[in-house]
Amino acid sequence: MAWIGLKHWMVWMLTAMHPFYISVVEIEHNAKDATIEISARTYTDDLEKMIQKEFNVKLDLNQANQKEQANKYINLYMQKKLALQSGGVKFKMDFVGYEIQKESTWSYFEIKEVKQLKQLNVFCEILFGIDPNQINILHTTVGGVRKSYELTTPKNSTQFNF
């Protein structure tokens, strides 16, 4: 019994000493509204580091007085690091906003006038460059069918077919 407790403690210690470098991107086609809704979850401190690296701007996303500047740079960063296309046409992502939940930042986007979606190409380099073990997990839902894919550095794109 003591071995099981020790094993769990050791796993917890290794996890605490070696942080995860991960983002999760949820992509959902809303056929009723003819939109694609996108949410990207990152660790707040990692997103702040990458914005500073990309744009030489130091932000504290938790500070209300930096909200306008944060909106600008989160949008710029995500537009550079995340792109969706179908049938050879790159979609225009409209930035909706962001919110902080505990240690994570959720960034929201919307693509309008997408009535049907049979194939989706996703380019994603969110947080690439922060750690060679970076993982971007992509979840897509179209017509009630959910598919997922994991991008690890250096792989930065995949295709979903529905």
Q: Where are the domains of the chain?
A: 20-161
**Which H or E element spans position 77?**
helix 67-81
pLDDT of residue 8 exceeding 90, the answer is: no
Query: Residue 156 burial (CB < 10 Å; 0-12/13-18/19+)?
Result: middle
pLDDT digits (tens, 9 = 90+) for 51-100: 999 999 999 999 999 999 999 999 999 999 999 999 989 999 999 999 99
Higher-pLDDT residue of 128, 20: 128
pLDDT at 19: 64
Percent of the chain past pLDDT 70, that is, above it, reads: 88
pLDDT at 60: 96
**Which H or E element spans position 39?**
strand 35-43
Distances (CA, A) of 44 to 87, 126, 136: 34, 12, 15
pLDDT digits (tens, 9 = 90+) for 21-46: 789 999 999 999 999 999 999 999 99
